[in-house]
Amino acid sequence: MDTILVINAGSSDLRFQIYSVEGEGRLRQQLKGRMDGIGRCPRLRVGRAGGSPLANRAYPVEAVPDIPAAMDIAGAWLRDELHIHPVAVGHRVAHGGAEHDRPVLIDHGVMDRLERLTAFAPLHLPHNLAPIRSILASFPKLPQVACFDTAFHRTHAAVADHYAIPRTLYAEGVRRYGFHGLSYEYIAKTLSTVAPDIAMKRVIVADLGSAASMCALSGGRSVESTMGFTAIDPGVLLYLISEKGMAASEVQRFLDADCGLKGLSGISGDMRQLEASEDASAKFAIDYFVYRIGLNTGMLVAALQGLDAFVFTAGVGENSALIRSRVAEQLGWLGVKLDLTENALQSQLISSPASRIPVYVVRSDEDLMIARHTLALLMNGSSMAPS
């Protein structure tokens, strides 16, 4: 049985899934796993698609100091214990720059170009590329595919793509990229089945996870996104550097580890903890989160010149009835009304019949999107074009 391995590597964890390739190019998830606590308290956890566990093993910290070591251990476990030898590997890569508007088969030339993009995504790209480099060294003939979180947004018009800066910087790649593109691409394609009557109309998707962004879709294509090159006012960064004496690397770590919901609340970046807390700062963080979603919805409605549907996705969007309800209140000016029962049940359609705008909850599956792209490149020599 042919299988495809999908890898999503972060700074301290390595997530992976195995998909079997079945008749007519269909994919079926076989198992999912992760090596987390890399460099601190490493542990390999693997389970079958149905949820039953296959492995839960701790390792000495010196055995798994980095992503390549985690790759070696997870790969050996898959080969030696499950006898899995994938025919190809698909990778989530945070940034593809201006050049890549779709996934690409990796070779050393592609790797060289991607490594030059590290300055555009220094907190993510080095970790994304580490397993690719490891596999290239150990299994040079195994096909690998890079799937970019920026690619789906390369359909933006020039006016949405530019900052008000000299064109020389734009030519260097300083432009509004947009992120979470694999998630948005999956939602755009899934809507044709979930809600075919609105799939090609004007849709806003709120990808509310550990990082949050929103995207405006028209005709199934991205026309605007709330994320650009970064997601914070540049004046704040200048203040941190000039007044707080922080180096650029310190600013990067500060934004990644200490800001967002955690910075606002002083408690946690996990929405579940904030919802359970009675602390006023937790309430403020939730208020801010909801307010910004409402504010950005207005911007995206303007980009679309109207709105035909609103979609929640990702961890918070898929699982928090409270956040969905609070956001719907913010969108009352658009005629949004939720069915409270359907919202509590986590139904797919959660708006009431009286709502002018239908509201959906659609579960995202970035890994399946990566597997599909990988299979398409393997079978056809070219990936699916952006929606």
The pLDDT tens digits for 231-261 are: 577 788 888 999 899 998 888 888 878 888 9
Task: Average the pLDDT over 8-16 and give the result.
Answer: 89
Q: What confidence score (pLDDT) does residue 260 get?
A: 87
User: pLDDT-based confidence at 382, cuts 50/70/90?
Assistant: low
* Nearest Cα residue to 369 out of 226, 160, 207, 223: 207
Task: Average the pLDDT over 257-278 and give the result.
Answer: 92
DSSP β-bridge partners for residue 222 = 217
Spell 343-378 as b/e; 16+ CB within 10 A means b: beeeeebbbbeebebbbbbbbbbbbbbbbbbbbbbb
Question: Cα separations (Å) of 336 from 192, 296, 304, 308, 355?
Answer: 22, 16, 17, 11, 5
Give percent above pLDDT 70 in the chain: 97
CATH among 3.40.630.30, 3.30.420.40, 3.30.1780.10, 3.40.50.970 for 3-148: 3.30.420.40
Q: What confidence score (pLDDT) does residue 380 get?
A: 82
* Nearest Cα residue to 334 out of 305, 306, 353, 361: 306
Look at residue 228 and tell me whether its pLDDT is greater than 70.
no
Look at residue 153 and tell me whether its pLDDT is greater than 90.
yes
Q: What confidence score (pLDDT) does residue 259 get?
A: 87
Annotated binding site for Mg(2+): 8, 366
Annotated binding site: 8, 92, 270-272, 315-319, 366
**From CA 83, how far away is CA 73, in angstroms rounded?**
14
Q: Where are the alpha helices (DSSP H) in the chain?
A: 67-82, 108-115, 125-138, 158-161, 167-172, 181-194, 234-242, 248-258, 260-265, 271-276, 280-304, 314-319, 321-330, 340-344, 366-380
Coil vs helix vs strand at 231: coil
Look at residue 19 and tell me whether its pLDDT is greater than 90.
yes
Catalytic residue status for 207: no
Residue 252 makes CB contacts below 8 A (sequence gap 6+) with: 122, 123
Tokens of residue 83, six digits: 């006898």
For residue 385, give the H/E element and its range: none
Look at residue 172 and tell me whether its pLDDT is greater than 60.
yes
Look at residue 191 and tell me whether its pLDDT is greater than 80.
yes
Annotated binding site for ATP: 270-272, 315-319
Task: Average the pLDDT over 288-301 and give the result.
Answer: 96
Q: What confidence score (pLDDT) does residue 30 get?
A: 94
The mean pLDDT value of the chain amounts to: 92
**From CA 310, how far away is CA 207, in angstroms rounded?**
11
Comma-separated ranges of CATH 3.30.420.40 domains in the chain? 3-148, 181-366
Task: With beta carbons less than 8 A apart as the criterion, state whether 95 and 146 touch.
Answer: no
Task: Average the pLDDT over 41-49 and give the result.
Answer: 93
Query: How many CA atoms are closer than 13 Å to the CA of 25, on its beta-carbon side?
Result: 10
Task: Average the pLDDT over 299-309 and give the result.
Answer: 97
Task: Average the pLDDT over 41-69 and give the result.
Answer: 92
Digit-coded pLDDT (tens) for 84-120: 999 999 999 999 999 999 999 999 999 999 999 998 8
DSSP letter at 378 equals H
CATH among 3.30.420.40, 3.40.50.720, 3.40.50.300, 3.40.228.10 for 181-366: 3.30.420.40
Task: With beta carbons less than 8 A apart as the criterion, state whether 325 and 319 touch.
Answer: no
Task: Average the pLDDT over 14-29 and give the result.
Answer: 92
The active-site residue out of 107, 149, 233, 256 is 149
User: pLDDT-based confidence at 128, cuts 50/70/90?
Assistant: very high
Q: What confidence score (pLDDT) does residue 387 get?
A: 45
